[in-house]
Structure 1
Amino acid sequence: MPVGVALRSMEGDVYVKTDGTVIQGVDLRGCIVVRADDVVIRDSRIRCGGGPTTPFPIRIIDGFTGLRIEDTEIDGLGRARVAVLGSNWSARRIDVHSAVDGLRMASNTSVEDSYIHDLSRLPESHNDTVQTIGGSGIRIVGNTLLAYNQRTDDPMNGAIQTGRLHSPLVGMLVEGNYLDGGSYTVRGGSGPRDGPLITDYVFRDNVFGRNCMYGPVQGVDPPVTWEPNNVWADTGVVIGTDSRANKLRCAQTP
Structure 2
Amino acid sequence: MPKKGEILVTQNGAVLQNIDLVGDIRVEADNVVIRNVRISAPQSSDIDQWGILQWVGHSGLIVEDSEIGGRSDTELRQAVMNDGGLVTVLRCDIHGMSKKGVYTSQGDIEDNYIHDPYWFAAADGEIDMIRVDGSPDPGTSLLIKHNALIDTTTTNSAISLFEADGGTPSGVTVEDNYMATAGWAIYAGGQTAATSDIVVKDNVFWTKFKDGYGYVTEWNPDGPGNVWSGNRWENGKPAPLPS
Instruction: Give the TM-score, by structure 2 length.
Output: 0.86
Q: 1:99 to 1:49 in 2, by over 3 A?
A: farther
**Alpha-carbon distance between aligned partners in 2 of 1:21 and 1:228, rounded to the nearest angstrom:** 40
Contiguous gaps of at least 5 residues in structure 1: 1-7, 149-153, 244-254
Residue 52 of structure 2 is aligned to residue 58 of structure 1: yes
Name the counterpart of 1:199.
196
Query: Residue 73 of structure 1 is aligned with which of 61, 67, 73?
Result: 67
Name the counterpart of 2:163.
164
Name the counterpart of 1:105.
104
- 8 Å CA contact retained: 1:130, 1:159: yes
Q: 1:183 to 1:53 in 2, by over 3 A?
A: closer
With 62-71 and 212-221 compared, the bigger mean Cα shift is at 212-221
**Alpha-carbon distance between aligned partners in 1 of 2:209 and 2:160, rounded to the nearest angstrom:** 14
Query: Residue 142 of structure 1 is aligned with which of 140, 146, 152?
Result: 146
- Letter matched to residue 84 of structure 1: V
With 62-71 and 158-167 compared, the bigger mean Cα shift is at 158-167
Name the counterpart of 1:36.
29
Count of matched residue pairs: 226
Name the counterpart of 1:10.
3
- 8 Å CA contact retained: 2:163, 2:169: no
**Alpha-carbon distance between aligned partners in 1 of 2:169 and 2:156, rounded to the nearest angstrom:** 21
**Alpha-carbon distance between aligned partners in 1 of 2:231 and 2:52, rounded to the nearest angstrom:** 31
**Alpha-carbon distance between aligned partners in 1 of 2:147 and 2:52, rounded to the nearest angstrom:** 19
With 180-189 and 223-232 compared, the bigger mean Cα shift is at 223-232
Residue 49 of structure 1 and its aligned partner are, at CA, apart by 5.1
Q: CA RMSD in A?
A: 2.0
Name the counterpart of 2:242.
242
Name the counterpart of 1:211.
208
Residue 168 of structure 1 and its aligned partner are, at CA, apart by 2.8
**Alpha-carbon distance between aligned partners in 2 of 1:186 and 1:49, rounded to the nearest angstrom:** 31
Contiguous gaps of at least 5 residues in structure 2: none
**Alpha-carbon distance between aligned partners in 2 of 1:120 and 1:11, rounded to the nearest angstrom:** 22
- Letter matched to residue 65 of structure 1: S
- Letter matched to residue 203 of structure 1: V
SS at match of 2:190: coil
**Alpha-carbon distance between aligned partners in 2 of 1:226 and 1:9, rounded to the nearest angstrom:** 46
- 8 Å CA contact retained: 1:218, 1:241: no
**Alpha-carbon distance between aligned partners in 2 of 1:201 and 1:35, rounded to the nearest angstrom:** 30
- 8 Å CA contact retained: 1:127, 1:147: no
- 8 Å CA contact retained: 1:134, 1:169: yes
- 8 Å CA contact retained: 1:185, 1:216: yes
Identity percentage of aligned residues: 30
- 8 Å CA contact retained: 1:228, 1:238: no
- Letter matched to residue 24 of structure 2: C
Name the counterpart of 2:233.
232
Name the counterpart of 2:91.
93
